[in-house]
Amino acid sequence: MRETSDQGRRPYHHGNLREALIEATLGLIEAKGPLGFTLAEAARQAGVSAAAPYRHFRGRDELIEGVALKGFEIFADQLEAAWNDGHPTLLTAFFAVGRAYLDFARRNPGYYIAMFESGVSIAGNPDLARAADRAMGVLREAAERLAAHLPPGKRPPSGMIANHVWALSHGVVELFTRGAPGARAPYSADEMLESGTAIYLRGLGLIS
């Protein structure tokens, strides 16, 4: 079965409808923000009828959750690839994960906004929660490995470290992308994140 738009655009096969809507929504999120468009507008952008999105999404919020879910899946894949890329030390692997975080945000603003700035409830959506936890799991594993040399009673919680580094990474993204207030800094986003992470890890005694 095929869906065609009332605008005469190229039709999409039903099996591709969900993907087409997500791709169309990415552009709308980047251009107008997560609250700046309607579900009907996303349908027009995808080249399908106004009723077509309801086959997969109950409304705009659920469509944005679909975008966020795909974003978290790609994000987790990229963090895992960065961590497992055969680095000479645990610290260089940890820094590579940070660079992958920034690279994802730079290359995928629509996904990033849907994931972190749209107000979607990650805890309220089991699929979103699993995908987000897989991404966070990379940082937890890295923290556990970095703390393994400390006595068990002196190891800081890996979840705390993961959340702190995640927050630091998000802050750097905001400084260097949203209006780019960090663009005038004498260092790059990658350098800022790496130095901040090193200071944090050194303060915890995880690196010397």
Q: Is the dihedral of CA 87, 89, 92, 97 positive or negative?
A: positive
Whether 76 and 21 share a structural domain: no
> CB-based contacts of 208: which residues, under 8 Å, 6+ apart?
202
Residues 41-100: pLDDT tens digits? 999 998 898 888 888 888 899 999 999 999 999 999 999 999 999 999 999 999 999 999
Distance CA 1, CA 77 (A): 33
Residues 188-204: pLDDT tens digits? 899 999 999 999 999 99
Longest CA pairwise span in the chain (Å):
67
Whether 208 is covered by a domain: the verdict is: no
Domain that holds residue 25: 2-55
| Residue where one domain finishes, among candidates 55, 73, 96 | 55
Instruction: Identify the residue with better confidence: 97 or 13.
Output: 97
- Please state the domain count of the chain: 2
Strands 2-3 and 12-13: antiparallel
The pLDDT mean for the chain works out to 88
Whether 41 and 85 share a structural domain: no
Whether 65 and 51 share a structural domain: no
pLDDT (0 to 100) of residue 6: 36
pLDDT-based confidence at 181, cuts 50/70/90? low
Give the angle subtended at the CA of 167 by the CAs of 165 and 171, to the nearest 5°.
115
pLDDT (0 to 100) of residue 8: 36
Contact 197, 165 (CB under 8 A): yes
Residue 12: strand pairing partners: 3
Whether 28 and 109 share a structural domain: no
Whether 64 and 20 share a structural domain: no
DSSP element (H, E) containing 3: strand 2-3
pLDDT-based confidence at 4, cuts 50/70/90? very low
Task: Name residue 176's amino acid.
Answer: F
DSSP element (H, E) containing 142: helix 126-147
